[in-house]
Structure 1
């Protein structure tokens, strides 16, 4: 898809998310000259498993790169760098040739949870953690092992797939696996290995692993990639990768970062406490802060940013666009659409039209949005989603609006803890990610959360834009302080003062229902 003029020099960005890769060409003024995307499948397995096929990743990426180069007419010599960003807490073991040894374990994969629990249990216990162990993880790393992190994935492979663990040369996050395919280098950064919980984050720009954290992990150090500077240049494309992608082997590859970091930069959030609500498949909030801090109760903290010498606020809802997609498949799609694949684009427009037919509050119907358990702001892997208070008068329009309202209430739940940790009162949020394309959802977000939402223009491209601008900064071609002016916003959604009392009450009822149903969910999902 063409977005702008034909530039002389561009950065080619690969953004790999849960739904598949986006590939775009970013110029020095913050324009996206061209971009395209492709879907990939996510396989849900018994016992909490969720996997991707790494071969499908690479095939989709190479297809997108060729397509965007052809559609843009940009010469390979105009590509001054390749930069990669991706989802994270996603684990892939590879052999010495860089060949995958199994499918990729998604950030939704819960199979490592029991192994993480065994790692940290003990007396005295707080929320399942041995107190002294918990305090040391919080001090060194910033947060302790959790049900879906990469450490749990590696432990699952070690204990339940020992033949795979034995053959593993390196464990990779997606960004680092793709960069290995591009450069042949088995490398990572402090930012990309964050979910492995093996780096002391009290100091930024670490280039080695922490001995205590390695010992606690029980993962062999030699199975982890060497660390490079966050703002470093990884190297050039290999001749094989250049030939496969149709690019020049002289093209450099910069060190990549995870998509929480690029989403903040891509939304123009460079200064302190400028929140960006990223309405992608998972849903996360990102903004920069000058200090390391955590809040275990609400599963939020600051982590090493993609910007050198800066921390990033991290809060991952784990339930956002993917929940909307699943809801649309069941409410609006025919049976054959329930197979793996993207929801047809027109269905999202139908959903918006349906939601507009229902009044605020959805006739008293509540939607619990936790299809994959709760991450931030109150981790609980056993809680699930669904509708409450349906009657004979409930219509599909009520259900659709309730979905938007329930998802937005999850964001509202996050607002208070985020403001407390940052020490700021937010005047507005930047709204970005694919979900922000919905005018209806954006307005519901403003009404439910209770503050203005400034929607980014082309919100689907925030990670592409953010990684592209970071690459220019790595190359010394763009200053960080110039980035906010490059990011454009197309609309401000103001909260409706007439619905404040209504949503205050419904929000309280939703959290009350979640708490009262908690024992039921734990009995139903006691294998997690």
Structure 2
């Protein structure tokens, strides 16, 4: 087994050596950055976990046919530097007060980098599905169970507590796709990095990965006490283990800023850059949901249901499991859904409206409104199938634009209800308490209320749009002297709530009736896409 404690490798012109958390950072503020699909949210956070100033900068996403979805990593960094420049203008003493920088980011991206950490091609983002076909060849074969060759599936489940998704979005399929379609790039690749990995390297010169990104490559052993890259899984996928970066914890100090990065950011080089994490872990911390079994829901471009558990959990038929987090490898359950805000936005834009205005004026859900399945780019949980597509069911001549928009919102909510019902059956899940909602949609009262009605659970909304930023900032709490651990700091965030939505009994009954109807028609719609999709074997199983 490789040495998991090996120090990070230094590139991008050098950087300070990694240090331990027993040394407190200089300054009293943290810069926290949440890198999403369309932009980065950057904030300055104080010791009370208040955001003193914040800026959002966008960057491009290149989309094309056959699942093409790429970004230029330097666009992420340029957005970050623009945001920090704006924060300097808002807080003139920022330079002397910043003690640490923390990144959280989108996950399941692949950056092929050379020895110096320079990208050899644009990043294949989490949305890129070009590797689906070759990825399915890697995981499939006879005898097959749920689309996985039995022997391979058992190895993955035993070592990694999961296996590559069949929709091609995990890094595993992307590795194979690059190897088969761009052999010259693959031959020159020294490091295989996720988005967070590259950002930390760009800031510090240190090549590292976080536990969450490592787990989702499906070449990491996540068994307790054996956490690290697996030679066996790397060979099974065909990835040289030496291309995988050293894994660091989220609270660890990776290094200081390089001279180049410090100059671009207008900061001193002794600012500590923490290990950081992915968006899901940051959101769990930002929601304050740090107790075992406590679940939160995030709804933005995509959606997820997530929460920490005391041990590994797995649902092969429904494509969700715990991954190992960068908080001492604590298991974090993630059930990801591909389409949420993106599907609602598509319906609103194509009915000639503005998203916020539409949600405020669309009116209450009606019993005979059409049904909407939001699978615009396929789905992952609870059914893993890239062939699925968005569908309106039950349209009538009397339905107007508002009915279509209500159906779109309900479609996302019912999709979450479907997955939430399965996740909440997991041993140790909290089945009674309030559910925290984060992400852009959480700031919309109509959406939050409909979710409360669908789940028949109280929905709690705090810093809805900035949970990732705040959660990432808690990782700096030990080095800043704010708390003994990130989870201790994050627990304070769980005590904040800007809004609480209580289920309406009448609407609860209506949502339940429509959910029953949807449960009857959903299997037929799934089967229709599988019969006509032409993309391979049937995938996933069905349980209402």
Q: Note whether the superposition's TM-score is higher than 0.5.
A: yes
Residue 60 of structure 2 corresponds to: 41
Map 1:8-407 → 2, pairs under 5 A = 9-146=28-165, 147-203=168-224, 206=227, 208-333=228-353, 347-356=354-363, 358-361=364-367, 363-407=368-412
In the alignment, is the contact (CA less than 8 A) between 1:88 and 1:192 conserved in 2?
yes
* Higher-RCO chain (CA-CA 8 Å, sequence separation at least 6): 2
Which shows bigger deviation, 407-416 or 501-510? 501-510
Counterparts of residues 474-485 of structure 1 (less than 5 Å): 474-479=479-484, 480-485=487-492
Q: What SS does the corresponding residue of 1:382 show, helix, strand or coil? A: coil
Q: Is the 8 A contact 1:354 1:401 kept in 2?
A: no
CA–CA distance in 2 between the matches of 1:236 and 1:93?
24
Give distance in 1, aligned partners of 2:91 and 2:412. Answer: 37
Taking structure 1 as reference, are residues 24 and 231 closer, same or farther at Cα in structure 2, changes over 3 Å only? same
Q: 2:477–2:489: 8 Å Cα contact kept in structure 1?
A: no
TM-score with structure 1 setting the length: 0.92
The residue number in structure 2 matching 1:3 is none
Q: Is the 8 A contact 2:57 2:83 kept in 1?
A: yes
Map 1:433-512 to 2 at 5 A.
433-456=439-462, 458-479=463-484, 480-487=487-494, 488-512=496-520
User: Could you tell me how far 1:247 is from its partner in structure 2?
Assistant: 0.9
Structure 2 residue aligned with 1:342:
none
Q: Is the 8 A contact 1:12 1:83 kept in 2?
A: yes
Contact 1:28 1:469 in 2 (8 A): no
Gaps of at least 5 residues in structure 1 are 1-6, 334-346
Distance in 2 separating the partners of 1:466 and 1:500: 32
Q: Secondary structure in 1 aligned to 2:76?
A: helix
Distance in 1 separating the partners of 2:489 and 2:248 = 26
Q: Measure, in 1, the Cα distance between the counterparts of 2:428 and 2:211.
A: 26
**Alpha-carbon shift at residue 309 of structure 1 (Å):** 4.4
Residues matched between the structures, number: 505
Distance 1:47 1:523, change over 3 A: farther
**Structure 2 residue matching 1:100: 3-state secondary structure:** coil
Structure 1 residue 227: Cα displacement: 2.2
**Gapped runs of 5+ residues in structure 2?**
1-25, 537-544
The 3 A distance-change label for structure 1 pair 306 and 360 is farther
Measure the CA separation in 1 of the matches of 2:480 and 2:232.
35
Residue pair 1:205, 1:230 contacting (<8 A) in 2 also = no
Deviations 1:241-273 (A, max 9, x none): 000111111111110111110100000011111
Residue number among 430, 433, 451 corresponding to 2:436 in the alignment = 430
1:404 CA drift (Å): 1.0
Distance 1:489 1:306 in 2: 26
Q: 1:508 to 1:203 in 2, by over 3 A?
A: same
TM-score by length of 2: 0.89
Aligned-pair CA distance for 1:220: 1.5
For 2:54, what is the secondary structure of its paired residue? strand
Secondary structure of the equivalent of 1:483? helix
- Pairing partner for 1:408 from 395, 407, 413: 413
Cα deviation, residue 204, structure 1: 5.8
Could you tell me how far apart the structure 2 residues matched to 1:305 and 1:228 are?
A: 11
In the alignment, the residues of structure 1 paired with residue 351 and residue 372 of structure 2 have an alpha-carbon distance, to the nearest angstrom, of 13
On the 8 A contact 1:370/1:385 being kept in 2, the answer is yes
- Residue 83 of structure 1 aligns to a residue whose secondary structure is strand
CA deviations 1:488-520 (Å, max 9, x no partner) are 211111111113332222213223333112233
Match of 1:343 in 2: none
Return the offset for 1:197.
1.0
